[in-house]
Structure formats: structure tokens, C-alpha cells
């Protein structure tokens, strides 16, 4: 019997395997990963300094332990080069591997901005535990970190590094941090609380160049300013990994296009996690992955199931200003109603008929999450 093959050992890949093994202990299963394949929780990477975790301690299980736990073959540092959906095969270098069903859990790439300068290639990104181990080695004994991007990941790293004593500069083209998730009042509170921790903001501008300097780097800003940095970290967004699917003639749009059963257009080929676009939605967060893995496991075990998503508020790990967001659906009609105090901002996105369609809670307003979350509409009913 050919194995079910899962490409990817992130939360989507491993959790699909775990859920499948609750339903089917026998079907041969193979996981293939381009990285070193530890089982870990990626969100821990942006608060590991605060939780005093060394990179090695973030890995919860080795790939060998996962293989034993899942009764699966786990192949690490192995990149799948091509998929042939007609022949149901994968190509890894010169090797051809057959599959019965294929799960694409490929994740997303960090977007890299075009930046000039003789040290642009030194700009770091953190998108997996291997990257993070490299980042921690690079910052050891250093002082100044410039972060490009004031989105969720940039703000979380800014908080973690500043709280650990680093001098942190954050550069973003937007006028406020978390500009896509927070109305301006919430962004302003987050900005001021992180500034109180020592974060220096450079908003409304971008990084134009990174050059080697006598000590570390000279970071040139589009507004003419210059920052000195020992390390430059970029966190400007993610791009679903669609190349493998597109080359196999599987439909891709922003992500790999799948229906509610996580089926691509190719028979027996599924996608989920950061690489997937489910009914038009790309949801690069943990909760959607956990819902999708449970549905997909049923389908893989022979009982086709559609995934549904409740509202899934995301907690931003900025302890200097606790923040929870549940943005309204794209195109939702309504308006923001905002109550701001010195220590909290409650932003509610409300329809004309009074229904709550989304929220952003900052500071002490996060205490209202439990009351508000059940009022939100599901993301996909």
C-alpha cells in the first residue's frame, strides 16, 4: 500500500498526522520536511527571551520521537522538488516516491523587500526554529536590533527584545504599529506602551539600504535618517508557498486554492496551513490550522469532512500592551466604535443593525474578550 505523504513538518503537517493517527493507526504515513523537523510551537519564537527559552528547549520533540509517536517515516532536510499528480508521485532529487494521498503543508515564506546596500543580504528573517537558532546566535553579546515591519511578528519581537535589554528600532511605512489589525487609537496605545519599554519608532518611512559600518550596520531610511544596528531583522509579511503546487498545475491564487474539504483540484491532493487559501481566505494563524487538521484527518481516514471556522481571535504577544484582535471579514459593512482610556482601548466593529462583526482590544480592554468573542460571527459557518 502506498503511503499518505505529508510535505511539511510545521504545525499543519505534524498536527494533521497526529489527528489522522487518532482515527487510523495502520495506513503507512510519511512526513517530508525541508527543515530539520523538530515538533515545536512557532508562536514561541517571538516570546522566547521573555520565557527564558533557549532555541534547543523550544523543540518539544525530535523528528525521531515524532516518527515513533506517529508510527510514520519522517524524512528531514529533504526538499520535494516536484509533484506529478497524474502518476501520484513526488520527486526528491533523482528519487521518485509514490503516494496514495498527498497533503501540502508547505507554510509561507517571509517576504523580502528590495533593499540596497552592501549588507542587504545580512538582513535576517525568522520563520522557523532553525532560523531562530541562527538569530539567537547572532544577537548574543549584541545590543542594537533594527526591526523592519511593525506588524504582528515585528511588534512581538520588538517587545521581547526590548524587555530583554536590547535597544530596538522599528521601521514601518505605516503611521501606526499593527496598522492592518488595529484602528489608530489601539495602534497609538501599543506604540506608546512599547516606547515606554524603550522601543524607538520610525513610522511613515522604510528601510532603503543596509550597509556594513565600522561596528555592525548602517541602516539608511527613505526619509533620510540613519540608524546604527548590530542586527537587522525583517518581518514584513508572509507569502504562501505556492510554487510546488503551481508547477504541478494545481490551482493557486494568493495561496494553494482548496475547498472546504481542503481538496485542491488534483484528486487526492490536499493543502492546509499557511500555504493554503480556503474558500478565498488565507489564515496564517494557529487556530485555523487546528480546525483544518481535524477535518482533513477525517477525510484522509475515509470520512470526507468539511471544515468550519468559528471566530478565532488572535492574541498578540506584546505583554507591554496586551492586545487581542478579531478583524472583521474583508468587505464587511460597519463602522468602528472606539472607547479609549489611558490603559485600554476597546474597538468594536459594528454593523448598522448592531451586530458585532469584529474587535480589537488593547490593554485592560482585553478583559472583555470572554464576553465579546461569543458574539462574533463565524469565519466560515
Ligand X SMILES: Cc1cc2nc3c(=O)[nH]c(=O)nc-3n(C[C@H](O)[C@H](O)[C@H](O)COP(=O)(O)OP(=O)(O)OC[C@H]3O[C@@H](n4cnc5c(N)ncnc54)[C@H](O)[C@@H]3O)c2cc1C
* Close Cβ partners of 204 (under 8 Å, ≥ 6 residues apart): 173, 174, 175, 223
Least separation in angstroms between CB 212 and ligand X = 27
Least separation in angstroms between CB 361 and ligand X = 15
* Close Cβ partners of 68 (under 8 Å, ≥ 6 residues apart): none
Query: HEC profile for the chain?
Result: CCCEEEECCCHHHHHHHHHHHHHCCCCCEEEECCCCCCECCHHHHHHCCCCCCCHHHHCCECHHHHHHHHCCEEECCCCCCEEECCCCEEEECCEEEECCEEEECCCEEECCCCCECCCHHHCECCCCHHHHHHHHHHHCCCCEEEEECCCHHHHHHHHHHHHCCCEEEEEECCCCCCCCCCCHHHHHHHHHHHHHCCCEEEECCCEEEEEECCCCEEEEECCCCEEEECEEEECCCEEECCHHHHHCCCCECCCEEECCCCECCCCCEEECHHHEEECCECCCCHHHHHHHHHHHHHHHCCCCCCCCECCCCEEECCCCCCEEEECCCCCCCCEEEEEEECCEEEEEEECCCCCEEEEEEEEHHHHHHHHHHHHCCCCEC
Least separation in angstroms between CB 241 and ligand X = 5
Least separation in angstroms between CB 314 and ligand X = 5
* 8 Å CB contact between 34 and 131: no
Please, which residue, 34 or 170, has the CB nearer to ligand X? 34
Least separation in angstroms between CB 154 and ligand X = 10
Please, which residue, 13 or 55, has the CB nearer to ligand X? 13
* 8 Å CB contact between 115 and 207: yes
Please, which residue, 171 or 208, has the CB nearer to ligand X? 171
Cell numbers at 166, concatenated: 536590547
Please, which residue, 34 or 210, has the CB nearer to ligand X? 34
Please, which residue, 128 or 230, has the CB nearer to ligand X? 128
Least separation in angstroms between CB 318 and ligand X = 10
Cα 124 from chain centre: 16
Least separation in angstroms between CB 120 and ligand X = 21
Contact footprint for ligand X (CB under 6 A): 7-13, 32-35, 42-43, 45-46, 79-80, 105-107, 126-128, 153, 241, 244, 273-274, 284-287, 289, 314, 317
Please, which residue, 239 or 340, has the CB nearer to ligand X? 239
Please, which residue, 9 or 299, has the CB nearer to ligand X? 9
Please, which residue, 184 or 237, has the CB nearer to ligand X? 237
Please, which residue, 241 or 294, has the CB nearer to ligand X? 241
Least separation in angstroms between CB 118 and ligand X = 27
Please, which residue, 42 or 142, has the CB nearer to ligand X? 42
* 8 Å CB contact between 234 and 110: yes
Least separation in angstroms between CB 167 and ligand X = 20
| C-beta atoms surrounding 114 within 10 Å | 6
Cell numbers at 137, concatenated: 546566535
Least separation in angstroms between CB 350 and ligand X = 25
Amino acid at each position: 500500500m502506498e503511503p499518505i505523504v505529508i510535505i511539511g513538518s510545521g504545525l499543519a503537517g505534524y498536527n494533521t498526522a497526529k489527528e489522522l493517527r487518532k482515527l487510523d493507526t495502520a495506513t503507512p504515513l510519511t512526513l517530508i520536511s525541508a527543515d530539520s523537523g523538530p515538533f515545536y510551537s512557532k508562536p514561541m519564537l517571538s516570546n522566547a527571551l521573555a520565557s527564558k527559552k533557549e532555541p534547543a528547549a523550544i523543540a518539544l520533540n525530535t523528528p525521531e520521537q515524532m516518527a515513533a509517536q506517529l508510527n510514520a517515516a519522517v524524512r528531514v532536510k529533504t526538499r520535494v522538488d516536484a509533484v506529478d499528480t497524474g502518476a501520484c508521485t513526488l520527486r526528491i532529487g533523482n528519487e521518485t516516491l509514490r503516494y496514495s494521498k498527498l497533503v501540502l503543508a508547505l507554510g509561507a515564506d517571509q517576504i523580502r523587500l528590495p533593499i540596497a546596500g552592501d549588507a542587504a543580504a545580512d538582513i535576517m528573517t525568522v520563520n522557523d526554529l532553525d532560523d531562530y537558532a541562527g538569530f539567537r546566535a547572532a544577537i548574543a553579546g549584541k545590543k542594537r536590533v533594527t526591526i523592519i515591519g511593525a506588524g504582528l511578528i515585528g511588534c512581538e519581537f520588538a517587545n521581547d527584545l526590548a524587555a530583554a535589554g536590547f535597544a530596538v528600532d522599528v521601521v514601518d511605512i505605516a503611521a501606526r504599529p499593527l496598522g492592518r489589525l488595529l484602528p489608530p487609537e489601539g495602534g497609538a496605545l501599543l506604540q506608546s506602551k512599547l516606547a515606554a519599554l524603550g522601543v524607538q519608532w520610525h513610522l511613515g518611512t522604510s528601510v532603503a539600504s543596509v550597509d556594513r559600518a565600522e561596528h555592525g550596520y548602517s541602516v539608511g531610511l527613505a526619509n533620510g535618517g540613519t540608524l546604527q544596528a548590530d542586527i537587522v531583522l525583517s518581518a514584513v509579511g508572509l507569502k504562501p508557498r505556492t510554487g510546488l503546487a503551481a508547477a504541478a498545475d494545481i490551482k493557486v491564487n494568493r495561496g494553494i486554492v482548496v475547498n472546504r474539504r481542503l481538496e485542491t483540484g488534483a484528486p487526492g491532493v490536499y493543502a492546509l496551513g499557511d500555504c493554503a487559501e480556503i474558500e478565498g481566505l488565507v489564515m496564517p494563524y494557529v487556530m485555523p490550522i487546528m480546525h483544518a487538521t481535524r477535518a482533513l484527518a477525517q477525510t484522509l481516514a475515509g470520512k470526507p469532512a468539511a471544515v468550519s471556522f468559528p471566530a478565532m481571535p488572535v492574541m498578540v504577544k506584546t505583554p507591554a500592551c496586551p492586545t487581542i484582535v478579531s478583524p472583521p471579514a474583508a468587505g464587511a459593512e460597519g463602522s468602528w466604535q472606539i472607547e479609549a482610556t489611558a490603559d485600554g482601548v476597546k474597538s468594536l466593529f459594528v454593523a448598522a443593525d448592531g451586530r458585532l462583526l469584529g474587535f480589537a482590544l488593547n490593554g485592560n480592554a482585553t478583559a472583555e474578550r470572554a464576553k465579546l468573542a461569543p458574539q462574533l460571527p463565524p469565519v466560515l459557518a
